Copies of this chain bind each other. A is one copy, B any other.
Amino acid sequence: MSGEIPRVVVVGGGFGGLEAAKALRHASADVTLCDRNNYHLFQPLLYQVATGGLAPGEIAAPIRRVVRGQANTSVLLENVDDIDIERREVVHRDGRIPYDYLIVATGARHTYFGHEGWEAAAPGLKTIEDALDIRRRIYLAYEEAERCPDPDRPPGLLDFVVIGGGPTGVELAGAIAEIARRTLRRDFRRIDPTASRVILIEAGSSVLPSFPPDLSRRARATLEAMGVEVRVGTAVSDVSPEGVRLGDEWIDSRTVIWAAGVEASPPGRSLGQPADRAGRIEVLPDLSLPGHPEVFIVGDLALARGANGGVMPGLAPVAMQEGRLAARNVIRRIAGQPTQPFVYHDRGALATIGRRAAVAEIRGLRLTGVLAWLTWLFVHILYLIGFDSRIAVLWHWAYAYVTFERADRLITEPRRQGAFR
Q: Which residues of A contact B (CB under 8 A)?
A: 36-39, 55-58, 60, 62, 64-65, 68, 74-79, 93-94, 128-129, 132, 139-140, 143-144, 146-147, 184, 186-190, 387-389, 391-392, 395-396, 399, 403, 405, 407-415, 418-420
Contacts and interface: CB of A to CB of B under 8 A. Distances in A.
B186 A57 contact: no
Given A57-B55, A64-B188, A414-B414, A419 B74 contact: no
B405 A388 contact: yes
Contact of A410 (B36, B60, B190): B60
Contact of A57 (B78, B403, B408): B408
Contacts of A128: 410, 412-413
Contacts of A409: 38-39, 57, 62
A143 B77 CA distance: 6
B190 A74 contact: yes
Contact of A413 (B68, B129, B418, B419): B129
Name the 4 nearest CB pairs between A and B, nearest first. Answer: A57-B408, A79-B419, A55-B55, A64-B187
A336 B325 CA distance: 80
Contact of A93 (B94, B413, B418): B418
B74 A189 contact: yes
Nearest to A190: B74
Given A38-B143, A77-B420, A187-B64, A57 B407 contact: yes
A203 B55 CA distance: 38
A261 B178 CA distance: 44
A39 B412 CA distance: 9
A58 B399 CA distance: 14
A93 B419 CA distance: 9
Given A37-B411, A68-B186, A129-B412, 11 more contacts: A55-B408, A56-B412, A62-B187, A62-B409, A76-B146, A77-B140, A77-B144, A79-B420, A128-B412, A388-B407, A413-B414
Contact of A415 (B64, B77, B129, B412): B129
A399 B93 CA distance: 37
Nearest to A405: B388
Nearest to A188: B64
A233 to B, nearest CB: 38
A38 B139 contact: yes
Contacts of A146: 74-77
Contact of A407 (B94, B189, B392): B392
11 contacts: A38-B409, A38-B410, A55-B55, A57-B407, A68-B186, A76-B146, A76-B147, A79-B418, A93-B418, A93-B419, A391-B399
A39 B55 CA distance: 15
